[in-house]
Amino acid sequence: MARSKTSSAWLNEHVHDHWVQRAKAEGYRARAAFKLLEIDEKDRLLKSGEVVVDLGAAPGSWSQVAAAKVGPKGKVFALDLLDMDPLPGVRFLQGDFREESVLAELERRLEGAPVGLVLSDMAPNTSGMASIDQPRMMDLVELALDFARNHLKPEGAFLVKCFQGSGYPEFLKAMRETFVTVATRKPKASRDRSVEIYLLGKGLKR
């Protein structure tokens, strides 16, 4: 079946994308690596010896960055609905984060370790219809926030991708109720036309 004009245009843009080419040259699995690298350069989230949970990890570029930054004394736990090729220093669990059994298994693997950073680059399979995609996205980010509340150590941090739209102001309010400081980040590797934005919460309110 012939590709549509839209999919052909996306493929052409992707192939010639500066960040895609750079990711290949530097050995990262996806252009998304540079989003985390830029945010970490500014906010110093990834510390040596830290315990990191990466939600929505596949294909693994954020886990790559995290494992390199936390080093052999740190731990990176990655989770995704899709399979992910193994990465040194990364403990991967395949499953649907929305399912209680998958969450329970992730918690079991953590073995009570105090988590310093929760990363969430999760996003639903998009339909192109905001009325469908936005509620699905908000459901994921709310679950990720709940996980962060329950597992972060007091001085920990939570970095989450959101779509700006319906439900976003309410989620931002929930972030501000949960963390001492909340900031927005729009890294250069995020496409200009994308509605995605990253929220960073630091320090749990008690």
What contacts 117, CB < 8 A, 6 or more positions away?
45, 46, 50, 51, 52, 53, 66, 152, 156, 157, 158, 159
- Alpha-carbon distance of 140 to 123, in angstroms, equals 7
* Strands (DSSP E) found in the chain: 51-55, 75-80, 90-94, 115-120, 152-163, 179-185, 196-204
* Domain assignment present for 76: yes
- Which CATH number do you get for residue 91? 3.40.50.150
- The verdict on whether residue 10 carries a ligand-binding annotation is no
Is residue 60 annotated as involved in ligand binding?
yes
Q: For residue 9, what pLDDT band results from cuts at 50, 70 and 90?
A: very low
What is the structure's pLDDT at 41?
A: 96
Q: Domain count for the chain, please give it.
A: 1
Give me the domain span that covers residue 76.
29-204
| Inter-residue contact 120 to 141 (CB < 8 Å) | yes
Q: How far is CA 134 from its chain centroid? A: 17
CA Rg value for the chain: 17
Q: Is 147 among the domain residues?
A: yes
Q: What is the pLDDT of residues 131-142, one digit of tens each?
A: 788 999 999 999
Residue 27 labeled ligand binder: no
Average of per-residue pLDDT values in the chain: 90
Looking at the domain assignment, is residue 157 inside a domain?
yes
Q: Is 176 within a domain?
A: yes
- 1 in any annotated domain: no
Q: Is 161 a catalytic residue?
A: yes
Whether residue 123 is contained in a domain is answered as yes
Q: Is residue 155 part of a domain?
A: yes
Query: What does the pLDDT read at residue 193?
Result: 67
Q: Residues 28-46: pLDDT tens digits?
A: 888 999 999 999 999 999 9
Q: CB within 8 A of 115, min separation 6: which ones?
A: 51, 52, 53, 151, 152, 153, 156
For residues 12 and 146, the model is more confident at 146
pLDDT tens readout for residues 66-112: 999 999 999 999 999 999 999 999 999 999 999 999 999 999 999 99
On whether residue 18 sits in a domain, the answer given is no
Please indicate whether residue 68 or residue 130 has the higher confidence score (pLDDT): 68
pLDDT of 179 above 90: yes
pLDDT in tens, 189-204: 877 667 899 999 999 9
**Which of 54, 47, 49, 53 has its CA nearest to residue 29?**
54
pLDDT value at residue 36 = 97
DSSP code for 73 = T
Reported pTM: 0.89
Q: Where are the alpha helices (DSSP H) in 16-73?
A: 18-26, 33-43, 61-70
Q: Are 138 and 172 in contact (CB under 8 A)?
A: no
> Residue 7: pLDDT above 50?
no
Does residue 14 have a pLDDT over 90? no
Active-site pick, 69, 75, 161, 202: 161
**What is the pLDDT, as a whole number, of residue 11?**
43
Integer Cα distance of 55 and 62 in angstroms: 10
More confident residue, 47 or 128: 47
Dist. CA 27–CA 119, nearest whole Å:
21
